[in-house]
Structure formats: structure tokens, C-alpha cells
Structure 1
Amino acid sequence: MHADIHLQLHHLNAAELHHAAENRAPAPASPPLRVQLGWRLVELGLRLATPARQPIAFAA
């Protein structure tokens, strides 16, 4: 492929990608790190507060 044609195709492809990116809806914002960390700490506390499962003893 001729270098000029290759470069022109590259520019056309880049323009299409830029146009598609401009028309795309923004991604939903994730909760702040502070909120995520808080819920992880709540989960950890609940795991520590609940009693551990006792292993099942099979009768031999």
C-alpha cells in the first residue's frame, strides 16, 4: 500500500473514532473511594461479628 494512501486511511479512521467518542454517553460515575472503603469495612465487621461455621462431624 502506498504510504500516502495509508496515511490518509489512518486520518479517516482517527476522525471516525473521535466522532464516535464525542457522541458516546459518559460512563456512570462510580461511588467515591471513601464510600467504597466504608462498605468494605462494614462487610469486614459483619464477617468478624458473626460466628464461624462449625465443621460438620460425621459419625463413623
Structure 2
Amino acid sequence: MTPEAHLYLHRQRTTELPGAEPESGTAGTATGLRARLGWTLVHVGLRLAVPARPAAALSS
């Protein structure tokens, strides 16, 4: 699942609400950048938290 999936679902459900106003383009860009940066930091943190697996030894 892509990190932006929850944002897509949020936008879809917002448009279905009666009287919902469309989001402005400038606010969505900043929010999208914030979400991508946040998820990138989560992925980096998970890589740092999980112990590295030892490399497979090559034998001839």
C-alpha cells in the first residue's frame, strides 16, 4: 500500500459529503509534502530499528 493511500481515500470521501468545498491546490501541496516526508522518516526509522541480517556467506 502506498503511503498516500489514506490521503486519496480522505479526498474521495470528502467530495461525497454534501456541501463539501474542494481543497485548494496550494494547501494540498504542502500537506502532501508533509505526508511524504513523514512516511519517509517512518521508513528510515524502521530500517534503523530492525537489526541488520548477516550477509549470506559465499562458498566455492
The TM-score normalised by the length of structure 2 is 0.50
Greater RCO (Cα-Cα under 8 Å, separation 6 or more): 2
Q: Which has the larger radius of gyration?
A: 1
The TM-score normalised by the length of structure 1 is 0.50
